Amino acid sequence: MANCFALIGWSLPVIESMQKIDKPFVVVSFPDFEPYARENNIPFVSYQLNEWSDSSNSLDLLEKLKPFNVDVAVPLFEETVEWAGALNSIFRDDPRVLNRAFLFRNKAMMKRKALIGGLRVGLFEEVHNREQVKLFMKRLNEANLQLEGEEDSWVHLKPFASAGTVGHRLLRSMSDIDEKVKDSDFPCLAESHLPGREFSCEAFINKGKIRFLNITEYVHLGYSNFIPEGHYLNSKRDLIHKHVQKMVDIFGIEYGMVHPEWFLTENDELNFGETACRIPGGHILELCSKSYEFDALAAFVLCHDPNITEEELDQVFPPKDFKPKNYNGNVMIYPQKRQFSKLEIPEELNEEPYFVDHTLVPPLSTQKISDDREGFGNHFGTINFRGEDPDRMKELLLHYETVDFYV
């Protein structure tokens, strides 16, 4: 077992999980969190993680961590992946650990690596202006044998390094390129639209092998999902496991957790979207913990440990033949109006047998939302459900996504 884990970033649920399993850790995060950490006896190192300079770098941070005897670094969110990679490359005496961290943070590099390794990916190019995006769409139209007057091939623009849907633009036509794309979007990655049913996996890796695989059913990306996967995706679990392990091998992932997104076609072909190596959004690990009855956040941290034994790993995860008794799902709630003053919970929700609870907070006064939110913006809370039927779960999630809770 590791001497001490450095948790790079800030996550109270992860801190609480580490306290419950009584494993040594220290949190490395911004100075703003230090008063809370001191007040609650949380081991803490204050650091400016948004800077990289002569006085703010992995070697300097390494010195500050020596009193804690740290030998494993764990990234808690997207922007700390390189920091953890830099530290772990020193702990393991392997510079490729840092190179892999860069790979996870650059979508263009990630796609090239996947393509070289033999994964199915869409067409992609790095673009620097609108004309290059138009040329990319034109080439897609030609490749798809589009006739004059037919709809253009869809193009996705994504920043090289961002989490979730921040900065993501879906372009359905040439006119969209002029109307939706900003100069500040460039340079970025242009991708063709991938067909198929989108879902994610959360693969817990140790010594290069999948130790536990979760499949998250996306009902509506960015809005709702549930765990475990429904009947159709479950019937493809062996196929999915094979492709995730192939991705792990291609990327040379040895420790931690990966969160790849895939598209399953009607012909049982899996297209690779992208992957991350940090805690996923959408409260996915919370749902995973509830369904499989283990602490997924603690498992996320412990899988980063090269020295953990097989016996210790077996204690971390549910038994290999474990079958969840219920499906756990949530809807992330976004206000549908730009201005609202109160929270309204419909009585039908309280009477729904699958309803568990919600985390919605009433506004203190009239509140306005900016028109220029990127991606989906921050959700205002979740509504949580639990039940035995995945079809009923999907029906509920889709319904409550349309309900206006903030009026």
For domain 196-325, the CATH superfamily is ATP-grasp fold, B domain (3.30.470.20)
Q: How far is CA 59 from CA 53, 88, 135, 197, 304, in A?
A: 11, 11, 44, 44, 20
Does residue 14 contact residue 301 with C-beta atoms inside 8 Å? yes
Cis before 13 (ω within 30): no
pLDDT value at residue 69: 98
CA distance linking residue 248 with residue 393, whole number of Å = 31
CB atoms within 10 A of CB 13: 16
Banded pLDDT at 163 (limits 50, 70, 90)? low
149 has pLDDT over 90: no
Which residues lie closer than 8 Å to 210 by C-beta, 6 or more apart? 203, 204, 241, 244, 245, 248
> Reading across the β-sheet that carries 44-46, which strands appear in turn?
44-46, 25-29, 5-8, 72-75
- Using a 10 angstrom Cβ sphere, with 0-12 exposed, 13-18 middle and 19 or more buried, the burial of residue 10 is buried
For tokens 């890796």, the residue is 205
pLDDT band at 376, cuts 50/70/90? very low
Q: 124-127 and 209-220 as β-strands: parallel, antiparallel, unpaired?
A: unpaired
Q: Cβ distance 160 to 106 under 8 Å?
A: yes
Which of 219-222's residues contact partners 24+ apart within 8 Å by CB, and which partners? Answer: 219/329, 219/394, 219/397, 219/398, 219/401, 220/397, 220/398, 220/401, 221/165, 222/164, 222/165, 222/282, 222/332, 222/375, 222/376
Q: Is there a common fold for 5-105 and 196-325?
A: no
The pTM assigned to this predicted structure is 0.92
Does the pLDDT value for residue 314 go beyond 60? yes
164-191 pLDDT, tens digit each? 556 789 999 999 999 999 999 999 999 9
% of the chain surpassing 90 pLDDT: 86
Antiparallel, parallel or unpaired: β 124-127 and 339-340: unpaired
What's the mean pLDDT when you consider all of the chain? 93
Residue 253 near residue 274, CB atoms below 8 Å: no
Q: Whole-angstrom Cα distance, residue 356 to residue 16?
A: 22
Angle at 260 between CA 195 and CA 28, to 5 degrees: 145
pLDDT of residue 375: 45
What pLDDT, on the 0 to 100 scale, is given for residue 81? Answer: 95
Give the per-residue pLDDT at 365: 85
Strands in 33-143 per DSSP E: 44-46, 72-75, 124-127
Break the chain down into helix, strand, coil percent, rounded to 5. 35, 25, 40
Q: Where do the structural domains in the chain lie, given as residue ranges?
A: 5-105, 124-192, 196-325, 328-401
Question: Which of these ranges, 109-113, 159-163, 242-246, 258-262, has the smallest mean pLDDT?
Answer: 159-163
In words, the CATH class of domain 5-105 is alpha beta
Counted residue by residue, the chain has a size of 407
**pLDDT by residue (tens digit) across 218-274?**
999 889 999 999 999 999 999 999 999 999 999 999 999 999 999 999 999 999 999
